[in-house]
A and B are shown apart, each in its own frame.
Chain A
Amino acid sequence: DGGITQSPKYLFRKEGQNVTLSCEQNLNHDAMYWYRQDPGQGLRLIYYSQIVNDFQKGDIAEGYSVSREKKESFPLTVTSAQKNPTAFYLCASRESGTNYGYTFGSGTRLTVV
């Protein structure tokens, strides 16, 4: 079945540590996205990529970095510069063009310990 796989499901980060969240899709979608979800604040866009080797900052990119070396993969690194990283992170993808909806993964819950 086609879909988006996020791993790990749960991740714990120590202060000052960088961690990387994985997102892989086998839907052959061109565009991929990272969102952060906090209670009571809805989903906010971190980074997005509409094509391989290209990506743009979203609304809350500070303290995060991404790469898009392969069409099916869009990893997110949460750096030590992100002061409040505890959140639920969701990856999404969709086909190019404005007529298509988004498909989401099952999420990674990151906790700072």
Chain B
Amino acid sequence: KQEVTQIPAALSVPEGENLVLNCSFTDSAIYNLQWFRQDPGKGLTSLLLIQSSQREQTSGRLNASLDKSSGRSTLYIAASQPGDSATYLCAVTGTASKLTFGTGTRLQVTL
């Protein structure tokens, strides 16, 4: 059974810092990995989708990498801003096209 772990569970950084969120998964037989952002009481917003054949994807200040063989992904956020404060979730699509989520990293960017 696929298990997805996100470390750290919570993170607080001052504005302007670069930061890395980590995601690991136990079964490397995945089709893709997706990073989401969730604001309190809201739905999930897709940030980046990485196919299993890709190594990384970039969107603005966000860069996600994928090392499928070692079961790891990182989300790099450059020059963090208070508006980046949210919970970040990673999820992998595996067999039967089922999506398995990690429990998230709660990020707070302080002024």
| Chain A contacts to B: CB under 8 angstroms | 6, 31, 33, 40-43, 45, 48, 50, 58, 88, 90, 92, 98-107, 109
Looking at the complex, which one of A41, A101, A107 makes contact with B42 (CB distance below 8 Å)? A107
* Chain A minimum-CB-distance residue to B52: A98
30 A-B residue pairs with CB within 8 Å: A6-B43, A40-B103, A42-B89, A42-B103, A42-B104, A43-B101, A45-B98, A45-B99, A48-B98, A50-B97, A58-B98, A88-B41, A90-B43, A92-B44, A98-B93, A99-B31, A99-B32, A101-B34, A101-B49, A102-B34, A102-B99, A104-B36, A104-B43, A104-B44, A104-B46, A105-B43, A106-B42, A106-B43, A107-B41, A107-B43
Evaluate contact between B103 and A101: CB separation under 8 angstroms. Answer: no
Evaluate contact between A109 and B36: CB separation under 8 angstroms. Answer: no
* Chain B minimum-CB-distance residue to A97: B97
| Chain B contacts to A: CB under 8 angstroms | 31-32, 34, 36, 41-46, 49, 51, 89, 91, 93, 97-99, 101-104
A85 CB, min distance to chain B CBs, angstroms = 18
Evaluate contact between A99 and B51: CB separation under 8 angstroms. Answer: yes
Q: How far is the CA of A58 from the CA of B96 in the complex (A)?
A: 11
B51 CB, min distance to chain A CBs, angstroms = 6
Looking at the complex, which one of B32, B42, B104 makes contact with A98 (CB distance below 8 Å)? B32
Chain A positions within 8 Å of B46 at CB level: 101-104
Top 3 closest pairs, chain A to chain B, by CB:
A98-B31, A101-B49, A104-B44
Chain B positions within 8 Å of A88 at CB level: 41
Chain A positions within 8 Å of B102 at CB level: 42
Known: A99-B31, A101-B32. 11 other contacts (CB 8 A): A31-B97, A41-B103, A43-B89, A58-B98, A88-B41, A90-B44, A99-B51, A102-B99, A104-B43, A106-B43, A107-B41
